[in-house]
Amino acid sequence: MCVSTAGFSQNKLNSNLKSNKMNNHQNVLSVDYGQLKEGKNSLYFMSQGYKLAGDLYLPKDFNSNKKYPTVIYTRVGTQVKEQTGATYGNKLAAKGYAFFVFDPKNFGDSEGEVRNYESIHNMVPNTTDAISFLRTLTFVDREKFYGLGACAGAPYICNVAIGDTRIKAVATLVGNFDAAASLFGAYPKEMLDKMLQTAAEAKQKYYETGEYEMAPIFGGMPLPPPDTASKAMKDAYGYYFLRAGQDKCPNYTTNYPTIGLPVDPSRVFMNQAKFFTTPFLVIAGSEAFTHDMDREVYEMAAGKKEWMDIEGASHMDLYDNDKYLDPAMDKVDDFFKKY
């Protein structure tokens, strides 16, 4: 039953509210402020009954008695916190922010099964709980609390912020806002049909036996990619195998569980964007495969918004290429300071 609140005063509404406390409420893990230091700090928080791991990057001369503008970052899909999160965290901490990146359920140092299973249905509640956790820290400025997301992290943070006013402004970099389009537009039908069939069989096996298998997220493509491969695939190989692969980030793997797909088709923000009123900065790479969807989301967004096109930058250039990333982070800093 839907009940309208039209004609009710706020006082009457408040008088009808009841305070309930869940018997199994979320545990708040304690933080030893005396151990916190500038740079990276490892912290843990609870979400969905699981202990999740995060890295909190703090500014130079950090003092827990002061208040700091704070950024919650939702990382690129399938990544662990030591990849783009470390790069962005160091850059924004140097600008005076407290910056938090976490391994969602099933990834990296966080608890949970199925390992490396990427899903918006984990990321949204995990991010919401990460925000709640951060706001328990005395040095977090609740009035200067911002969201940042890259690639798949862009629709993640926007899906959270659209209904969470604790986030005062959002910035995204090379946002992959339409996972369905990325999935169904990226593969030949024969290959896609095979992937869908494999996933369907894997889900059935997992239900019946509890067992699941892992498969290369890059499919059966030769590595390094052949000359005929797309620029996006070549760029992905350069990042995930040469610059930020498992040799440098041991918690990361290029495999994913076959019960899912390399792309979660429910990770979409295109339809919601027209309702998005949170102040919004969209940063796109002029050569990125995500450029057009970034522009479309920007045009649809309903609130205060700013656009930045990084000329010459591909999608992965805005993961760790200082030539393109530094001006993007400068823009993020300038934007957040307005709110």
Domain identity same for 139 and 218 = no
- Residue 269 · residue 177 · CB < 8 Å: yes
Give residue 33's domain range: 28-179+266-336
In a domain, 109, yes or no: yes
Kindly report which listed range (35-44, 63-72, 262-271, 308-317) carries the lowest average pLDDT score. Answer: 262-271
Q: For the chain, how big is the Rg over CA atoms in Å?
A: 21
Domain identity same for 94 and 163 = yes
Q: Which of the listed residues 257, 282, 315 is the one where a domain comes to its end?
A: 257
Is residue 9's pLDDT more than 90? no
Domain identity same for 121 and 224 = no
Q: Could you read off the pLDDT of 186-234 as tens digits, one per residue?
A: 777 888 888 889 999 999 999 999 999 999 887 767 889 889 888 888 9
Domain identity same for 166 and 300 = yes
In a domain, 308, yes or no: yes
In a domain, 226, yes or no: yes
Q: What is the DSSP string of 307-327?
A: EEEETT--TTHHHH-HHHHHH
Q: For residue 325, what pLDDT band results from cuts at 50, 70 and 90?
A: very high
CA distance 41 to 54: 8
Share of the chain above pLDDT 70, in %: 91
HEC profile of 286-303: CCCCCHHHHHHHHHHCCC
10 Å Cβ neighbour count for 180? 14
In a domain, 18, yes or no: no
**How is residue 259 annotated by DSSP?**
T
Q: How many domains does the chain have?
A: 2
In a domain, 14, yes or no: no
In a domain, 67, yes or no: yes
Domain identity same for 274 and 164 = yes
Domain identity same for 134 and 228 = no
Is residue 262's pLDDT more than 80? no
Among 298, 296, 293, 267, smallest CA distance to 281 is for: 298
Q: Which of the listed residues 215, 235, 257 is the one where a domain comes to its end?
A: 257
Domain identity same for 251 and 276 = no
Q: Could you read off the pLDDT of 152-168 as tens digits, one per residue?
A: 999 999 999 999 999 99
In a domain, 207, yes or no: yes
**Would the pTM of this model clear 0.85, i.e. be above it?**
yes
Mean pLDDT of the chain: 91
Among 161, 148, 156, 134, smallest CA distance to 78 is for: 156
Backbone angles phi, psi at 156, to 5 degrees: -60, -55
* Amino acid 190: pLDDT: 86
In a domain, 19, yes or no: no
> Would strands 68-74 and 50-58 be described as parallel, antiparallel, or unpaired?
unpaired
Q: What is the mean pLDDT of residues 67-84?
A: 98
Q: Which of the listed residues 196, 225, 257 is the one where a domain comes to its end?
A: 257
The enclosing domain of 140 has a CATH number of 3.40.50.1820
Domain identity same for 36 and 165 = yes
Domain identity same for 111 and 203 = no
Domain identity same for 61 and 169 = yes
* Amino acid 4: pLDDT: 47
